[in-house]
């Protein structure tokens, strides 16, 4: 057997042909389509490459690349035995076929014509890498590698990358600039300094620290280096990213990178990527934003994400108008009252598990709490918007009217950490995408203010979490990619077959049912009910701007059985949210209108599906007589209708969310991470440091006077 294996490898070695740089794969256009698999969404095809001799690449820049990708390059035999063993072991356990690549192996992989993911291909690449290392010098191999590797933004090779990111030749690059380019190689889609600044900086630091450990850079010189300015992404003909679809393409690129299909392969391999986006839904999203915000102030920013609750596929995605700037669907913003459904879900789950709360016993949507305003919670005074009063308030009434004191109280009783944990299971990211810090906490602490939406989430998180409720408590991984085939039609990836994440039940279906029931009156209460009396479950949210009467974030999140949609409105620099006629913007205003226009437009051709008309969870018997203006459980468990409130004038909502404040009036609201914006010189700036947040304990939580 050993003789046979040796003979096969020997024959493969003799037959192996080493590809030279001018023979590297002839680029083919890749096509991204909508979910129908036919209608084109975008084309990805560009190659921008200029070859330079190794002598023109400064030694510190070369060393930065080695520190990032292959520190033992000048010592290894062209492959990494440990890496190969690790990759094979992962393959045996059913994991991907990637891994274990030296710079020599990377060059061979990028030069290969076929994109098949098989052991045969990996074996061929290994054999060629060994032959390449024996027949050519390390400097020659490094030169070829630097002239062919992909750096993102359509740039192949280090000279094109230098021009793309810094606007000048590689021969003029500094150590810090070379480290930026080296940091990008690992995953151009995920380490671009503009789209992922914190991730790019962390990788940049890793590269420089590696140079120090290899004695290619002194610790003293490392200590004084700062992250250099980088040119913003353009919208040139190579990438066709202009317009809202540009953010979709970026999300697809990143998802493919996580699946092992890197951006360089997408750009040159003639792939066909079928996305989850519905053509009509995407058009409706763009049209809704354009219609509602026509004539509104230019400083307003918007995001809209719509998800199919049945499978987690993104149906529509609007992260802004430019397609190349900051993606607002990924912005971290305080959700205000739109986070209250997670608190109720936590309480109902505990109730089913036998948990009894003080005063109310086992919780149901008919349980009653003290909804007066203000209320003191261990030195924190919480107010309802406009100091609205709801003594002995049912959870149903509190959800509809967005009574802060009830949900602050409920969050404390069920445990703020438990609310955060359930929200994470429902799809809210547990770590930030911009700096990898844990979410739904500040300084390692989650307090009762989670009940009124203090901690930042993203629009895509809210659409995902509400989709879990809409699906009856099953969390489906949110995704953009449905299917990928190569230029020969071979299936490289199919989400239903190959997704690394599987649907998971995270809520008892009775909990999902009753949370849905509690949100059904909200859209009508907010004057944003859907056309033709189509049922919906929704929640508005508004985050106050410090100690002012202004707002800085406004939300509308809601669903029907077919779609879960989150809409966010804010600004780049936490400016007061005002309409063109100078009225304060609340969740029920421009966000609610955008949500309604989108939902009405897309759902017009969809069947009318009902939501639940009953509750499933019976709590403890009320211990006091309810006031006349709150719903009362009937003998069958369904609520009696409460008096219909008089309509709230458009633009003049009646309830909203507070911001915790310290004893001196300093804000203790969520840590804001300002959005990076291009400065006047055309470079990317990270923005000012986030506002420090003192420990909450003696402050005042105050309503802001709008529908939350």
Structure tokens at 273: 């990527």
End-to-end CA distance of the chain: 73
62, HSE (Cβ side, Cα atoms, 13 Å): 20
| DSSP string for residues in 654-675 | S----EEE-TTS-B-SPPP-PP
Q: How far is CA 607 from CA 83, 451, 613, in A?
A: 53, 35, 18
Smallest CA-to-CA distance from 256 within 560, 485, 519, 579 is with 485
Task: Count Cβ atoms below 10 Å from residue 533 Cβ, excluding itself.
Answer: 8
Indicate left, alpha or beta for 543 from its phi (over 0: left) and psi (-120 to 50: alpha): beta
Which secondary-structure segment (H or E) carries 287? helix 279-292
Q: How far is CA 335 from CA 432, 570, 585, in A?
A: 15, 11, 14
Smallest CA-to-CA distance from 162 within 138, 188, 191, 182 is with 182
Contact present, 305 and 314 (Cβ < 8 Å): yes
Three-state helix/strand/coil letters over 151-190: CCCCEECHHHHHHHHHCCCHHHCCHHHHHHHHHHCCCCCC
Residue 143 catalytic? no
Provide CB contacts within 8 A for 301, sequence distance 6+. Answer: 320, 328, 331, 569, 570, 571, 572
Provide CB contacts within 8 A for 330, sequence distance 6+. Answer: 319, 433, 458, 459, 460
Which secondary-structure segment (H or E) carries 292? helix 279-292
* CA 635 – CA 626 distance, rounded (Å): 15
Q: Rg of the chain's alpha carbons, rounded to an integer?
A: 28
SS3 240: coil
SS3 389: coil
* CA 540 – CA 510 distance, rounded (Å): 23
Q: Can you say how many angstroms the Cα of residue 665 is from the centroid of all Cα atoms in its chain?
A: 32
* CA 460 – CA 250 distance, rounded (Å): 14
Contact present, 506 and 473 (Cβ < 8 Å): yes
Tracing tokens 């400064």 back to the chain, one arrives at 58
Smallest CA-to-CA distance from 616 within 633, 637, 600, 630 is with 637
Q: Of 35, 337, 381, 518, which is the active-site residue?
A: 337
According to DSSP, residue 690 is labeled P
Task: Count Cβ atoms below 10 Å from residue 238 Cβ, excluding itself.
Answer: 17
Contact present, 459 and 303 (Cβ < 8 Å): yes
Smallest CA-to-CA distance from 207 within 198, 197, 217 is with 217
Provide CB contacts within 8 A for 279, sequence distance 6+. Answer: 34, 35, 36, 39
* CA 588 – CA 213 distance, rounded (Å): 56
Q: Of 47, 69, 265, 520, which is the active-site residue?
A: 69
H and E: helices and strands count for the chain: 22, 22
Contact present, 631 and 640 (Cβ < 8 Å): yes
Residue 30 catalytic? no
* CA 286 – CA 283 distance, rounded (Å): 5
Q: Hey, which residues are catalytic here?
A: 69, 337
């Amino acid at each position: 057997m050993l003789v046979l294996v040796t003979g096969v490898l020997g024959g493969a070695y003799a037959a192996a042909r080493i590809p030279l740089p001018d023979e590297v794969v002839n680029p083919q256009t890749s096509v991204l389509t909508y979910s129908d698999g036919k209608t084109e969404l975008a084309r990805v095809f560009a190659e921008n490459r200029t070859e330079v001799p190794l002598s023109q690449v400064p030694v510190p820049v070369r060393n930065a690349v080695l520190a990032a990708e292959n520190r033992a390059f000048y010592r290894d035999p062209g492959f990494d035995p440990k890496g190969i063993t690790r990759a094979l072991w992962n393959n045996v356990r059913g994991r991907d076929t990637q891994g274990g690549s030296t710079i020599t192996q990377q060059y061979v992989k990028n030069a290969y014509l076929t994109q098949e993911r098989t052991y045969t291909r990996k074996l061929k690449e290994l054999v060629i890498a060994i032959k390449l290392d024996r027949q050519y010098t390390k400097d020659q191999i490094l030169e070829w590698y630097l002239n062919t590797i992909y750096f993102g933004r359509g740039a192949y090779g280090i000279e094109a990358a230098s021009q793309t990111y810094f606007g000048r030749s590689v021969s003029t690059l500094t150590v810090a600039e070379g480290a930026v380019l080296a940091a990008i190689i690992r995953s151009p889609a995920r380490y671009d300094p503009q789209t992922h600044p914190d991730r790019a900086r962390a990788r940049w630091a890793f590269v420089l620290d590696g140079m120090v450990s290899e004695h290619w850079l002194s610790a003293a010189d490392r200590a004084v280096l700062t992250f250099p300015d980088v040119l913003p992404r353009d919208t040139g003909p190579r990438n066709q990213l202009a317009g809202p679809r540009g953010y979709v393409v970026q999300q697809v690129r990143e998802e493919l990178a996580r699946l092992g299909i890197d951006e360089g392969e997408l750009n040159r391999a003639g792939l066909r990527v079928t996305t989850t986006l519905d053509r009509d839904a995407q058009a409706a999203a763009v049209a809704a934003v354009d219609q509602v915000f026509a004539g509104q102030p230019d400083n307003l920013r918007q995001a809209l994400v719509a998800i199919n609750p049945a499978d987690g596929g993104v149906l529509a995605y609007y992260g802004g108008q430019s397609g190349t700037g900051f993606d607002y669907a990924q912005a971290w913003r305080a959700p205000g009252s739109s986070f209250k459904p997670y608190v109720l879900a936590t309480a109902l789950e505990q109730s089913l598990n036998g948990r009894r709360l003080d005063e109310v016993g086992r919780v149901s949507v008919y349980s009653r709490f003290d909804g007066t305003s203000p209320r003191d919670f261990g030195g924190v005074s919480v107010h309802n918007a406009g100091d609205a009063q709801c003594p002995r308030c049912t959870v149903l009434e509190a959800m509809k009217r967005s009574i802060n004191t009830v949900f602050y109280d409920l969050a404390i009783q069920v445990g703020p950490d438990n609310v955060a944990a359930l929200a994470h299971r429902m799809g809210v990211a547990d770590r930030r995408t911009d700096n990898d810090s844990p979410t739904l906490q500040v300084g390692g602490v989650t307090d009762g203010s989670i009940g009124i939406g203090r901690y930042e989430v993203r629009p895509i998180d809210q659409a995902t979490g509400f989709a879990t409720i809409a699906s009856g408590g099953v969390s489906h991984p949110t995704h953009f990619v449905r299917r990928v085939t190569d230029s020969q039609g071979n299936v490289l990836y199919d989400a239903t077959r190959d997704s690394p994440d599987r649907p998971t039940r995270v809520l008892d279906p009775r909990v999902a049912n009753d949370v849905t029931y509690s949100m059904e009156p909200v859209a009508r209460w907010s004057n944003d009910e859907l056309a033709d009396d189509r049922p919906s479950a929704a929640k508005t949210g508004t985050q106050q701007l410090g100690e002012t009467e202004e707002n800085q974030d406004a939300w509308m999140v809601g669903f029907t059985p077919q779609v879960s949609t989150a809409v966010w409105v804010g600004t780049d620099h936490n400016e007061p949210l005002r309409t063109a006629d100078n009225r304060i913007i609340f969740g029920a205003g421009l966000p609610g209108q955008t949500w309604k226009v989108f939902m009405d437009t897309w759902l017009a051709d969809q069947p009318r599906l009902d939501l639940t008309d009953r509750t499933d969870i019976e709590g403890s018997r009320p211990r006091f007589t309810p006031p006349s203006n709150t719903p009362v459980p009937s003998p069958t468990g369904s609520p009696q209708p409460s008096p219909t409130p008089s309509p709230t004038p458009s633009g003049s909502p009646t309830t909203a969310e507070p911001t915790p404040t310290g004893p001196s009036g300093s804000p203790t609201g969520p840590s804001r991470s300002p959005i990076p914006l291009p400065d006047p010189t055309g470079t990317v700036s990270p923005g000012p440091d986030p506002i420090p947040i003192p420990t909450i304990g003696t402050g005042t939580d105050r309503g802001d006077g709008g529908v939350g």
